[in-house]
Structure 1
Amino acid sequence: MTSTLRRFWKYWLLAAVVIALFVRLGVWQLHRKAEKEALFAQVQAQVDARKSQPLSLAFTRDRMQDFDWAEGRCALEGRHAILLDNQLNEGRAGVRAFAPCAIDDTGRSVMIDFGWYPLAANRTMPRPILPTALDVRGVLMPPPSGGLVADQVQKGSGVTVVTRIDAQSLKQALGNTPVAPRVLRLDPALKVGGLRDFHVFPSTMPPEKHFAYAVQWFAMAAAILIITVLLSLRAKKP
């Protein structure tokens, strides 16, 4: 009987480690939920206030991770489209179309998010119809992610497919044009481009999903605890 209990304490130690891990993962998911809710609230506050800022604010380094409502007029030189690949919308595969828009005579450009376009089954890339100049308004926000630009899909096709949006890499791909570290998510009310909204993370899980995963981790921790207690009680029986 004593040897059985001694052996079972090892299982208690293992269970404690697993339970602690599951609880930690659940707490992390709750933190991620709170972070995303805070970001959504910040964006919604800008959308509700619509306090107009100049597009040049996109170049302000100390606001790279912030959200600001901006308005202005810019020129789409060459109307070259940057297509961000691997973008889902309600489970459908597609791309998000961006284009560099010159905001002043110095050639500085802000990447304008023209929205989501579906992909055909053969992965033929869409050709967004973009104007030569546009009065824009929307939310300045960090790009979806940072990384390297992929190769062009077709020479002279007028589009470049990328897996991530990165200011330095885009600067090289666009002929050394200075590109702002933030992008402008166009107001969905503007009749241009594809499907748009002000969702901060269009291709990642919403806060509700993080909460659901947290509940699952806590439930698994509780299940391990209950199973360990039941086995321990059974081991004590003569």
Structure 2
Amino acid sequence: MRLGPYEFRPRLLPALVTLALLPALLALGFWQLDRAEQKRALLAQWEAGKRAAPSALSELGATGSKDADTRFRRVRAKGQYDQAHQFLLDNQIREGRAGFQVLTPLRLAGREKAVLINRGWVPMGASRRDLPDLPAPEGEQQLRGILTDPPSVGIRLGEADTGGNDWPKVVQYVAPERIQKQLGYPVMERVIQLGRNQPHGFERDWEAPVHFGPQRHVGYAVQWFGLAAALLAIFLVVNTKRSKPAHAESIHERFHADS
């Protein structure tokens, strides 16, 4: 195909490489844009939940499931702490210090189910065998917090804990089904982050539910689209050559004919 003084002749190998890589690069770029939009929606839901008036946990319906409409809702809950059965989420770093997040079951008043209360962060002792003291008040408690998913720990490898009958129990991640079996009563899939001004908690500075905002995803998308554009440009340059003038071709053919 001629393009003015240039001729475009795609060769097989560069064409195959471009056809394989270009759709993948574009797909990665659009995927990052989609991730950015998801982060925007998540942050908007989080901000709206913080501004809303607290609702009674019993009024939110089936909060035992991960219903998107109830995530990040400010809630009030009433019940008794199960002091004898507490969980310590391992590998929680705060200001460069290793520690645990304390999850204490709250047996809800008038209901069979319990909800885990994330009471905040405590530092680790000299070793993981040196577990911190986890005081919890007796009697019925009324507390406020934010209803959210269990703390994220990235990739889950192996069992949530080592089993056994020791309490408090150190866990690598929160597995509601396993926790229900260990406690012997049903537990909601969502947890409540205890409000910063609520008593009987530990260090709490609840952050946004994303590690980095949508801007970084947009930046990644620009990089993927940039690579796709560079790949396409290289393909065109490699396969495009300057055409020889017509009179040069006739002279070349005449020379060979005379010889």
TM-score (norm 2): 0.71
Which of 137, 142, 145 is 1:132 aligned to? 137
Instruction: Kindly tell me the number of residue pairs found equivalent between the two proteins.
Output: 228
Q: Distance in 2 between matches of 1:38 and 1:24?
A: 21
Q: Which residue of 2 aligns with 1:47?
A: 50
Q: Distance in 2 between matches of 1:209 and 1:45?
A: 22
- Return the offset for 1:28: 1.0
Counterpart AA for 2:195: D
Q: Which residue of 2 aligns with 1:20?
A: 23
Instruction: Note the 1:74-113 alignment, pairs <5 A.
Output: 74-87=79-92, 94-113=99-118
Identify unmatched segments of 5+ residues in structure 1: none
Identify unmatched segments of 5+ residues in structure 2: 1-7, 245-259
Relative distance call for 1:237 and 1:87 in structure 2 (3 A) is: farther
* Larger deviation, residues 190-199 vs 108-117: 190-199
Counterpart AA for 2:136: P
**Percent sequence identity over aligned pairs:** 28
Contact 2:78 2:109 in 1 (8 A): no
Relative distance call for 1:117 and 1:232 in structure 2 (3 A) is: farther
Relative distance call for 1:236 and 1:189 in structure 2 (3 A) is: farther
Q: Deviations over 1:147-201 (max 9, x none)?
A: 753115x864x32222322222111122x12111211122233352223315224
Q: Distance in 2 between matches of 1:225 and 1:56?
A: 56
Q: Which has the higher helix share?
A: 1
Q: 2:177 aligned with 1:187, yes or no?
A: no
Relative distance call for 1:128 and 1:136 in structure 2 (3 A) is: farther
Which of 221, 229, 233 is 2:236 aligned to? 229
Contact 2:26 2:224 in 1 (8 A): yes
TM-score (norm 1): 0.77
* Larger deviation, residues 61-70 vs 22-31: 61-70
Relative distance call for 1:79 and 1:59 in structure 2 (3 A) is: farther
- Return the offset for 1:11: 0.9
* Larger deviation, residues 42-51 vs 109-118: 109-118
Counterpart AA for 2:161: A
- Return the offset for 1:22: 1.1
Q: Distance in 1 between matches of 2:118 and 2:236?
A: 55
Counterpart AA for 2:216: K
The Cα RMSD (Å) is 3.3
